[in-house]
């Protein structure tokens, strides 16, 4: 049996994505073959395509951090799952495919009746948001928080979950995303025309309790300036390394997995030397999952429950067929995307 998957043939732009047809993978002992129904698209995918994310595999590789699919075939020694069962996983790479084989322990059952695109949005985006709020920052009701990229996939998840937590929220966004940010309960700050530090101090007086920082570099220090004394920056992204969906430095074509993360770490470390009682703490979904795998499963089950109860509603920016992954990357690279882009199984 043949299947389709997307591969990155070289580190670079969207043209690096190629559609290939090949033999369907067979599960090894302890593995499950999953027919992918929905795969999420994210900025880490773009960073891996450019060769700068610390999780970047060697070439050629199939991108795709998160997926929802249906159990298709069980490898030997697998029990507790049945063909036809809907499952979710965070493979980090490999989700841009019609079929993928994963260890049984990586799969989390998905409740029946959920929209597949909405369900896949929870795996990377909402777990990142949930864990930063409740495991990193340990937010409390009525605290003030600033969310960068508030209209994006993680940003909109932070807004919805922050609203449930009773937070007072501010979100940087483009003018295009301002209405979405407002509708999700936050005060929008147009980063293109307003200085977010000045705006935060104008609106709050002494600053916010927490900043969720997705830009990286010197932006971490600017975010620190928006804190009140005793506040925390949770730093989780390096989107400042991209411009228009490509490397801002223009140095493309290689696998530089640790360069950006080393710079990221340096900025965090140097921030600890700045005056004032303000913390900067890093967050990484993949490392927390490796260190505390039970938390990942527990938090995803909690989020599925919230989705079932309609207490959260992921924003789906666009659904693309799997074979249009290149066009999906081009759209994400233009910026200003509101919510999550999802690749769907080709019908």
- pLDDT of res. 101: 98
Measuring CA to CA, which residue among 151, 201, 194 is closest to residue 173? 151
- Record the pTM: 0.93
End-to-end CA distance of the chain, in Å? 16
Render the burial of 186-213: b for 16+ CB within 10 Å, e for the rest: bbbbbbeeeebbebbbeebeebbbbbbb
Give the pairing of strands 168-173 and 144-147.
parallel
pLDDT at 135: 98
C-alpha atoms less than 13 angstroms from C-alpha of 33 in its C-beta half-sphere: 13
Count CA atoms closer than 13 A to 317's CA, side-chain side: 25
Distance CA 263, CA 5 (A): 33
Q: Where in the chain is the domain with CATH 3.90.180.10?
A: 2-120+288-344
Note the pLDDT of residue 252: 61
pLDDT at 277: 82
The pLDDT value recorded for residue 145 is 98
The pLDDT value given to residue 249? 60
User: DSSP labels for 36-66?
Assistant: EEEEEE-HHHHHHHTT-STTPPPSSB---S-
Within 8 A by CB and 6+ apart from 243, the residues are none
Q: What is the pLDDT of residue 258?
A: 58
- Confidence (pLDDT) at 189: 98
CATH 3.40.50.720 location in the chain: 124-284
State pLDDT tens for residues 78-98.
999 999 999 999 999 999 999
What count of Cα atoms within 13 Å lies in the side-chain half-sphere of residue 45?
35
CATH topology of domain 124-284: Rossmann fold (3.40.50)
Ranges of the chain whose pLDDT falls below 50:
none
The CATH number that domain 2-120+288-344 falls under is 3.90.180.10
Which pLDDT does position 133 carry in this prediction? 98
């Amino acid at each position: 049996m043949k299947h389709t998957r997307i591969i990155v043939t070289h580190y670079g732009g969207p043209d690096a994505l190629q559609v290939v047809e090949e033999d369907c993978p067979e599960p090894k002992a302890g593995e499950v073959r999953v027919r992918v129904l929905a795969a999420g698209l994210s900025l880490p995918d773009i960073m891996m395509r450019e060769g700068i994310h610390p999780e970047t595999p060697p070439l050629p590789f199939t991108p795709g951090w998160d997926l929802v699919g249906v159990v298709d075939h069980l490898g030997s020694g697998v029990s507790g799952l049945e063909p036809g069962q809907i499952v979710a996983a965070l493979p980090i790479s490999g989700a841009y495919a019609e079929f993928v084989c994963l260890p049984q322990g990586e799969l989390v059952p998905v409740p029946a009746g959920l929209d597949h695109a909405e369900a896949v949005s929870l795996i990377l985006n909402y777990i990142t948001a949930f864990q930063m709020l409740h495991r990193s920052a340990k937010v409390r009701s009525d605290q003030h928080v600033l969310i960068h990229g508030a209209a994006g996939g993680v940003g909109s998840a932070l807004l919805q979950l922050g609203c449930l937590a009773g937070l007072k929220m501010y979100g940087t966004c483009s003018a295009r995303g301002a209405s979405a940010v407002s509708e999700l309960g936050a005060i929008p700050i147009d980063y293109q025309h307003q200085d977010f530090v000045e705006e935060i101090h104008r609106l709050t007086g002494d600053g916010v309790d927490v900043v969720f920082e997705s830009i990286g570099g010197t932006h971490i220090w600017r975010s620190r300036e928006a804190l009140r004394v005793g506040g925390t920056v949770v730093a989780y992204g390096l989107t400042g390394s991209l411009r228009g969906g490509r490397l801002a430095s223009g140095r493309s074509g290689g696998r530089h997995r640790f360069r950006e993360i080393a710079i990221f770490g340096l900025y965090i470390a140097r921030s600890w030397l700045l005056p004032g009682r303000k913390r900067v703490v890093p967050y990484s979904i993949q490392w927390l999952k490796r260190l505390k795998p039970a938390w990942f499963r527990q938090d995803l089950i909690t989020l599925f429950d919230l989705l079932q109860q309609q207490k959260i509603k992921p924003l789906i920016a666009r659904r693309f067929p799997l074979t249009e992954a290149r066009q999906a990357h081009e759209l994400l690279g233009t910026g200003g995307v509101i919510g999550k882009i999802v690749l769907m199984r080709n019908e």
